[in-house]
Amino acid sequence: MLRIAKEALTFDDVLLVPAHSTVLPNTADLSTQLTKTIRLNIPMLSAAMDTVTEARLAIALAQEGGIGFIHKNMSIERQAEEVRRVKKHESGVVTDPQTVLPTTTLREVKELTERNGFAGYPVVTEENELVGIITGRDVRFVTDLSQPVSVYMTPKERLVTVREGEAREVVLAKMHEKRV
């Protein structure tokens, strides 16, 4: 004798009417309270597991409004470095960038790129005055890595810049104007 313990549905038993909703996407609130003092814009966080969360995922989650917990299956120094990388990556704006001197070799820049995971560095004088920028695009096809940064950097005169604290609208307008 066949018994039905509990009625259940399959995907074929349910039909959602396409494009029918009384909730508009821009009015949906997905935020959630993680702790008494931390509110997430999206209900996403990552596990503190060595196969899951390091700086890269923590940055990606933070940019979307979530949070990533850096795992502790590494040395204290490496943990601190992972957290530092996340903290420095504030909304795409690096507040205290790592810089190089005009005399720094391209080999040293390549080592920095491999260690830090990014390829753009402001070029400054000994007095910390900006003189240019060196990026991966500037040196993509260079084979002589003993050359100094000053040979291939984009000089200050050709950089698109704004003053610190400039209004977001002004920054976006300038980026649009200069196509960056």
Strand pairing class (67-68; 154-155) = unpaired
Residue 57 lies in a domain: yes
Q: What is the mean pLDDT of residues 84-110?
A: 85
Residues 58 and 89 in one domain: yes
pLDDT bracket for residue 73 (50, 70, 90): very high
Strand pairing class (39-40; 32-33) = antiparallel
Q: How far apart are the first and last CA of the chain?
A: 72
Q: Does the pLDDT of residue 95 top 80, yes or no?
A: no
153 in Cβ contact with 123 (< 8 Å):
yes
Total domains in the chain come to 2
Torsion of CA 152, 157, 160, 166, to 10 degrees: 130
Using only the alpha carbons of the chain, give its radius of gyration.
24
pLDDT score recorded for residue 1: 64
Residues 84 and 127 in one domain: no
Q: What is the mean pLDDT of residues 101-109?
A: 96
The token duo for 130 is: 């900006």
The domain that holds 147 is classified in CATH as 3.10.580.10
Neighbours of 63 (CB within 10 A): 12
Domain C-terminal end among 96, 121, 140: 96
The token duo for 62 is: 């933070």
43 in Cβ contact with 33 (< 8 Å):
no
pLDDT bracket for residue 25 (50, 70, 90): confident
CA-wise closest residue to 119 among 83, 144, 143, 149: 149
pLDDT score recorded for residue 155: 96
pLDDT score recorded for residue 90: 64
Q: Does the pLDDT of residue 91 top 80, yes or no?
A: no
Answer yes or no: pTM beyond 0.85: no
State the residue range of the domain holding 114.
106-178
* Average pLDDT of the chain to the nearest whole number: 89
